[in-house]
Amino acid sequence: MLFAKATFGKFVWWRTVPLLALLALGACTTTDVRTTAFTPLTVEDAAMPEKRLLDVGIVQFDPGLDEAEADEDKLVFPELRHAESRYMAVTLADALQSSQGWGAVRVIPSERTNIDVTVSGRIVQSDGETLTVEVTVTDSRGQRWFTKEYTEQASHYAYDRKNPTKGDAFQGVYNRIANDMIAYRQKLSDESISELRTVSELRFARSFSPHAFDRYLTQSEDGIYQLTALPAEDDPMLARVRRIRERDYLFVDTLQGYYGTFVKSMEQPYQEWRAMSYEEVQQMHELKRKARNHTIMGAAAIIGGIAAAGAGAGSARAAGQVGIAGGGYLIKSGFDRRAEAKMHIEALQELGDSMEAEVEPRIVELEDRTVTLTGSVENQYRQWRELLKQIYQAETGDLGEQI
C-alpha cells in the first residue's frame, strides 16, 4: 500500500491507496506452456545414395558445471548433470538416426575419435521447466558448421501422469539440431563429402603412425585439414589401420549398448525428477513473485510511515507507527517466503543425490573379453585406444607417438 497526503480543513493525515501500478512493475510473471506441439523432424528421402552419408559422433555433453553460477535458482546438481550429459547425447543420436540422413550415428566418449562429423554440446540450463543447450558441429577437416544455442520450455502436459505425452519433454530441441545439421549437409557437394570421409580415415591413420601418413595431410593456420595426396588402395600400412579402425568401431558400437542401458535405467527416475522439478520451479516463481511484492509493499509502507510520523500531529504519528510496523511485517513475510523457496531447492538437492545411485555405470561384455568400466567412460576409452596402439605396434613394429 502507498501513503498519500490529504488535507481536510486544518487536519493533515495520510491515507493508503492501492499499489496496483507498483505490483504490476514488481511482479514476476511466469509462462505456463500448455501445448504439446514441437518442431517436427526433417526426414531424408530413403533413396539418397550411400556416398552422401556421413558418420556422426556425438560427444557426451559438457555438464556446464564450470560456467554454472552459484545461484540457487539454477538448480544445478553435479551428479544429475553428469547423468544428463549422457542422456542428452543419446536422445540427440536417436533423433539423427530417425532423420535417415546419416551413416552410423554413435555417442562417443570424447573428441579423440576421428569421425566425419562431430557434435559437441554444453548444458546451459536444465530444470524440468526449461532446457537450454549450446551445440557445436564440426567436420573432420576442422571446419565448423555452426555453433548455436537451443532453448525450449516444457509443456504443462509433458508431465501429466494421467495422460503422459510420448517422447522427450524437450524433443523439439533435438529435432531442431537434427534439422539444422541436415540443412548444412544438403549444401555440401559430393566431392566435399567424399573428401570428408577420406580425411577422417587419414587422420585416424596418422594418430597411429604419424611418420607414415603425415605426407597425405596438411593443416592450415586456422586448423583446417586438406588432402595433399592419397595412399595407394593396396598400401599394407593403410590396410592394417583399417583393421584397427574396425576394432575401434566395434568397441564404440559396444558402448552404444552401454549408453542405451544407462539411459533406460535412468529414464524413469529422471522423468520423475523432471516432473517434480517442473512443479518446484513453478512454485518458486510464484513464491519469489509474492516475496518481491511483499518486500516492495513493506518498504513503501515504512517510507510512508516515517513520513507520517514526522508530520507532527498525534494522529498522523500514530498512523505512521502503524505503517512502519505493518511494513516491517510485510518485509519479514517476503524473507520468509524466500526461505520457503530455499527449502524446495534443498528438497531437489536430495532427489538429485539419490538419483546418482540409480544410474551408475555397469560392466560391459565384449565379444572376446569382459571390460570393467571403472571411472569415467572417457578414461575407459582412452585405455582402449592405448590397447589398440599396442596391437598396431605389435603388428607393424611401429614405435610412433602415443595417441
Residue 208, pLDDT above cutoff 70: yes
Please report the pLDDT score of residue 211 as a whole number.
Answer: 85
The alpha carbon of residue 152 and the mean position of all alpha carbons in its chain are separated, in whole angstroms, by: 11
Classified as helix, coil or strand, 64 is coil
Weakest-pLDDT range from 36-50, 113-127, 323-337? 323-337
Please report the pLDDT score of residue 29 as a whole number.
Answer: 44
d(CA 300, CA 302): 5
Please report the pLDDT score of residue 297 as a whole number.
Answer: 55
Q: What is the pLDDT of residues 145-184, one digit of tens each?
A: 999 999 999 877 777 766 656 678 899 999 999 999 999 9
> Looking up cell 611401429, which residue turns up?
398
Q: Are 184 and 137 in contact (CB under 8 A)?
A: yes
Instruction: Name the β-bridge partners of 266.
Output: none
Q: What is the pLDDT of residues 24-44, one digit of tens each?
A: 334 444 444 444 567 899 998
At residue 128, φ and ψ (nearest 5 deg) are 90, -35
d(CA 150, CA 152): 7
Indicate the length of the chain as a whole number.
403
Q: What is the pLDDT of residues 228-287, one digit of tens each?
A: 999 998 898 899 889 889 888 888 888 888 788 878 877 777 777 777 777 777 776 666
d(CA 294, CA 336): 10
Please report the pLDDT score of residue 86 as a whole number.
Answer: 87
Please report the pLDDT score of residue 391 as a whole number.
Answer: 73
d(CA 303, CA 311): 13
Average pLDDT, the chain: 74
Please report the pLDDT score of residue 344 as a whole number.
Answer: 47
d(CA 377, CA 382): 8
d(CA 104, CA 256): 11
d(CA 243, CA 184): 31
Residue 366, pLDDT above cutoff 70: no
Q: Which residues contact 353 (CB under 8 A, 6 or more apart)?
A: 77, 79
Cell numbers describing residue 386 = 592405448
pTM: 0.71
> Looking up cell 515504512, which residue turns up?
302
Please report the pLDDT score of residue 167 as a whole number.
Answer: 72
Weakest-pLDDT range from 122-126, 176-180, 246-250, 361-365? 361-365
